[in-house]
């Protein structure tokens, strides 16, 4: 006995979504923007130096900017490490 109806098409495998990739790239773009804005905030002539000479005030502002950018980069590395570990745990849990 044969069936005369149309055969069901084999189910196509689902295309994997790249959500993590886009989240990761968005985080990278935000940190890059933050570093650029932080580095450019120290540019220019310092004002309101108090009793400091202009040169000393400029050096202090440059050092503060460098420390701030360094903290942003350290935070960036920590967030990337956390994202990487989270992704690895997710991939291991989804393994068949």
Given a cut of 60, is residue 87 above it in pLDDT? yes
Domain that holds residue 29: 19-45+53-93
Per the CB < 8 A criterion, the answer to whether 35 and 73 are in contact is yes
Per the CB < 8 A criterion, the answer to whether 31 and 38 are in contact is no
Which residues, other chains included, contact 24 with Cβ-Cβ below 8 Å and sequence gap of 6+? 83, 87
| Residue 13: inside a domain | no
State mean pLDDT over 58-80.
94
Per the CB < 8 A criterion, the answer to whether 83 and 24 are in contact is yes
**CB atoms < 10 A from the CB of 24, how many?**
16
pLDDT tens sequence across 2-52? 566 567 667 777 777 788 889 999 999 999 999 999 999 877 777 778 888
Confidence of residue 69 (pLDDT cuts 50, 70, 90): very high
Tell me, what's the pLDDT at 67?
Answer: 95
Written in H, E and C, the secondary structure of 32-45 is HHHHHHHHHCCCCC
| Residue 27: inside a domain | yes
Per the CB < 8 A criterion, the answer to whether 38 and 76 are in contact is no
Mean pLDDT for the chain overall: 86
Provide the whole-model pTM: 0.74
Number of domains in the chain: 1
| Helix, strand, coil percentages, rounded to 5, for the chain | 65, 0, 35
Tell me, what's the pLDDT at 1?
Answer: 57
| Residue 71: inside a domain | yes
């Amino acid at each position: 006995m044969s069936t005369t109806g149309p055969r069901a098409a084999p189910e196509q495998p689902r295309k994997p979504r790249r959500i993590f990739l886009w989240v990761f790239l968005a985080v990278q773009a935000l940190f890059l923007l933050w570093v650029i804005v932080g580095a450019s905030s120290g540019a220019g002539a310092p004002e309101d130096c108090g009793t400091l000479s202009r040169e000393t005030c400029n050096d202090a502002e440059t050092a503060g900017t460098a420390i701030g950018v360094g903290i942003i980069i350290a935070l960036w590395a920590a967030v990337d490490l956390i994202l990487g570990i989270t992704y690895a745990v997710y991939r291991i849990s989804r393994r068949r």
